[in-house]
């Protein structure tokens, strides 16, 4: 943990609202990506971000600095996203044909074939990710999207490095099988 981050956390623990705002600005996009990666719904992900920072505000005094703050916050985000997913599984959602947020505007120059192929690949990848068990999906998101190390993933998910490696192996194997028509073989 950098000295700047340690000072920021210390100020936040003392009730400095500006410090909490700075932590929010520094980490909110990362927390959103984790939440969205798990729940795959913009509004739910935004709710989770809000929930995580409210929990952080209430619990920041308990942070002792034994782990990386980044890991501490990500564990909170992941737990909130998983809890949200479990709650949603109990109540069947009413879908109004949701579209993902943040769809980039396509350049007019891009051909219709390319756009269709890209859309098909995005949908296939989403469907493949949804077929993974939550623990494998979480490991893939933390490693491939967020770039966390095996150690950081182990801390966030509260499991051993060996378990992280196993989850990643099986997730990649499953994704490779599900996406075999889209992936060129290595070699």
Length of the chain: 187
For residue 96, what pLDDT is reported?
40
The model's confidence at residue 185, banded by pLDDT at 50, 70 and 90, is low
Domains in the chain (CATH in brackets) are 1-91 (1.10.1740.10), 110-187 (1.10.10.10)
pLDDT single digits (tens) 27-42:
999 999 889 988 888 8
> Environment class of residue 34 by beta-carbon count within 10 Å: exposed (0-12), middle (13-18) or buried (19+)?
buried
pLDDT single digits (tens) 4-32:
888 989 999 998 889 989 999 999 999 99
DSSP states along 117-186: HHHHHHHHHHHHHHHS-HHHHHHHIIIIIS---HHHHHHHHTS-HHHHHHHHHHHHHHHHHHTTTTSPPP
CA distance 187 to 26: 41
Separation of CA 10 from chain center? 26
pLDDT single digits (tens) 105-137:
444 445 666 777 777 777 888 888 889 998 999
pLDDT > 70 fraction of the chain, expressed in percent and rounded: 83
In this prediction the pTM is: 0.58
């Amino acid at each position: 943990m950098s000295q700047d981050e340690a000072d920021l956390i210390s100020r936040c623990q003392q009730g400095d609202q500006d410090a909490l705002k700075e932590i929010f600005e520094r980490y909110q996009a990362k927390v959103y990506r984790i939440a969205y990666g798990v729940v795959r719904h913009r509004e739910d992900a935004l709710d989770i971000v809000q929930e995580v920072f409210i929990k952080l505000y209430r619990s920041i005094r308990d942070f002792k600095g034994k782990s990386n703050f980044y890991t501490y916050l990500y564990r909170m985000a992941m737990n909130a996203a998983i809890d949200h997913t479990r709650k949603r599984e109990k109540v069947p959602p009413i879908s109004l044909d949701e579209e993902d947020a943040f769809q980039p505007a396509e350049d007019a120059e891009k051909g219709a074939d390319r756009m269709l192929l890209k859309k098909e690949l995005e949908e296939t990848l989403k469907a493949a990710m949804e077929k993974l068990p939550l623990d494998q999906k979480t490991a893939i998101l933390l490693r491939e999207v967020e770039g966390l190390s095996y150690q950081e993933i182990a801390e966030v998910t509260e499991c051993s490095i060996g378990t992280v490696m196993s989850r990643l192996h099986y997730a990649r194997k499953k994704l490779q099988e599900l996406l075999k028509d889209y992936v060129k073989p290595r070699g």
